Amino acid sequence: MQPPYASVDTEPPPRPAAGADPRAVLAAFPGPALWLGADRALAAANAAAERLLDEDPHWLDEVRSWLGGASVAPGLRSTPVEAARGVMIVEWAASPLPDGTTLLFGRDATLERQLRQTLSESRRRYKDLVEVSSDFAWETGADGRFVFVTPKGALGYEAEALIGRDPRELAVEEWGDLPLPFDTRRPVDQSELWLKRADGAAACVVASALPLYGADGQWGGARGVCRDVTEQVVRAAELARVRNREKMLGHLVHTLRNRLDAAEALGVAATETARALGADGCRILRVGEAGAPLPVTDFAGEIPAELEHAALGETLARVMAAPEPVVATLGGNRLLACRTEHQRAVNGAVLVWRGDDADPWDDEDAQLIAGVADHIGIVHAHLAYQERLHRLSERDGLTGLFNRRTFFERLEEQLGRPDTGPSSLLYVDLDNFKAVNDLHGHQQGDQVLKAIGTLLTTGVRPGDLPGRLGGDEFVLWLGRTDADRARAVADRLLAGVAELRHLSAGPDKPLGLSIGIAVHWPGRGETVQELTARADAAMYAAKARGKGSYTVAADHAAVPETAP
């Protein structure tokens, strides 16, 4: 049994033979069929048509109206029918008979109509997506040139400017005979390439394409889409550079933290900085106590003459004054430099250089050296702190002279040297110093001690060792000095303390010095303790004689020589 809505082929319905019974024709037709009289009244209907009339009798009125309005052969007419399964489209073909009656043959055109509508909507949807998408669609012909480009254009070009153009003209690199997605012979998925924008800038695109082949198997072009990913690529490259910079700085910070010696840490920092920046050399400078930059450490086989500290001149001054990295050319070198700071105080600079035939410094290099400079500034501060601690550990905090421990360590070194001539140790004790503290207080007493410290360091040679043993006791080691020269120094000290009489407790208790002199001869096996004991005994001998004088200790049991 035929289904009530069976579709028929798109061929026109069979024309009834002359004299054929219309009812027999209706019964033989697989789809719905009607026989209308000359007055368009329903004369007969097959089972399929009757079911349609049972479900929706109104469609017959529309068919009658169509037939009544046709002045010639009515042709085809599509009619919607409210069926149980939903709205269906029945396409009717009218076949007039000689007696004025009409046979109507119907076929189910619902699926065809839906497919046509879906195809139309799909095309419209594709067109909308292409127009609003950031991607651009394209198609090339058999000659490899563009025959279609998204209406809004691509890469800054109008669509009309690309139609007929060879895509290879847009390639940034020379591809030779290598296939591009635009002339590919096989499917391409997410292929990355660089093309030129209308303004000449480079753009990175990701292309997907399919080749087009004709019925004869001949290649006829390609069709695909390209997505501009330049921003993502640039961002990814920038992120990679940032990560590399952070990795390098992390390594540098780790290295600096694991180096207890700040000067050694700066040497490692110079090496790592030069390597990270691809520089020929790195020079680190630190602001000295006088405010002038002083070299701390270098990384270079040989420092160019133009980058010697004395030759930097105005360039270094500009670096120290600029909050941002400075690029300069000195002689045949490209210089990149940045000052270092700690707690907003400029304390040095970092300099790297390349030959003028190398690549120029870029923003990435500047950011990297700025990051390095931040950490070097901390190391500079650490180095200054270490130096201060070292000074405090070996110097007397009030007078700046060597303290007791450091003096005797240095004196031990001096006695161990293979000198051939004599040297002298002066043991100095202040006269009437306690009276100054008792009468005027410790503040004036400190002033006196500072003045004695200045007196002992005035005129001393690089190898001499002035020191404070504690309280009002001082020492002065005079290398390669015999007794006569030691006496001359003692006379100078006595004359100098006479100018401090205004700091005395009073006329009856004048400030003075009692000095003991012990001459040391190398090779006789005398120890530091023995030498010091001889000088100390000579000092007490001078003090016993009435103070304000010096005594030269004699060897062994000899009678000490006393100043007149």
Tens of pLDDT along 159-173? 899 999 999 888 887
Strand pairing report for 512-520 and 550-552 = parallel
Least confident of 34-48, 288-302, 417-431, 441-455: 288-302
Position of tokens 């103070």? 547
Strand pairing report for 423-431 and 550-552 = unpaired
* Range list for CATH 3.30.450.20 in the chain: 22-109, 133-228
* Range list for CATH 3.30.70.270 in the chain: 404-562
Question: Rounded CA gap, 111 and 238, in Å?
Answer: 55
Question: Rounded CA gap, 366 and 352, in Å?
Answer: 11
Q: Which fold has domain 133-228?
A: Beta-Lactamase (3.30.450)
If one compares 82 and 254, the residue with the highest pLDDT of the two is 82
Least confident of 387-401, 476-490, 541-555: 387-401
How distant, in Å, are the alpha carbons of 132, 151, 203, 380 from that of 229?
16, 20, 8, 45
> What is the CB neighbour count within 10 angstroms for residue 434?
14
Q: What is the pLDDT of residues 221-263, one digit of tens each?
A: 999 998 888 888 888 888 777 777 777 777 777 766 776 677 7
Question: Rounded CA gap, 458 and 481, in Å?
Answer: 16
The C-alpha angle 524, 528, 530, rounded to 5 degrees, equals: 70
Contact 477, 465 (CB under 8 A): yes
Q: Has residue 394 got a pLDDT over 50?
A: yes
Model pLDDT, residue 5 = 43
Q: Would you tell me which CATH number, out of the four given (3.30.450.40, 2.60.40.1180, 3.90.600.10, 3.10.28.10), belongs to the domain 241-387?
A: 3.30.450.40
Least confident of 233-247, 322-336, 414-428: 233-247
Strand pairing report for 42-45 and 293-299 = unpaired
| CATH class held by domain 22-109 | alpha beta
Model pLDDT, residue 515 = 97
* Range list for CATH 3.30.450.40 in the chain: 241-387
Q: Provide the edge-to-edge strand list for the sheet that holds 33-36.
A: 42-45, 33-36, 102-108, 86-96, 76-83
Beta-bridge partners for 470? 473
> For residues 224-244, b (16+ Cβ closer than 10 Å) or e, as one string?
bbbbbbbeebeeeeeeeeeee
Q: What is the pLDDT of residues 259-298, one digit of tens each?
A: 667 778 888 888 888 888 888 888 888 887 655 666 666 5
Model pLDDT, residue 485 = 95
Q: Provide the edge-to-edge strand list for the sheet that holds 423-431.
A: 465-470, 473-478, 423-431, 512-520, 550-552, 561-562
Question: Rounded CA gap, 481 and 409, in Å?
Answer: 20
Mean pLDDT of the chain: 84
> For residues 457-478, b (16+ Cβ closer than 10 Å) or e, as one string?
eeeeeeebbbbbbeebbbbbbb
Q: Would you tell me which CATH number, out of the four given (3.30.70.270, 3.40.50.11390, 3.90.550.10, 3.40.50.2300), belongs to the domain 404-562?
A: 3.30.70.270
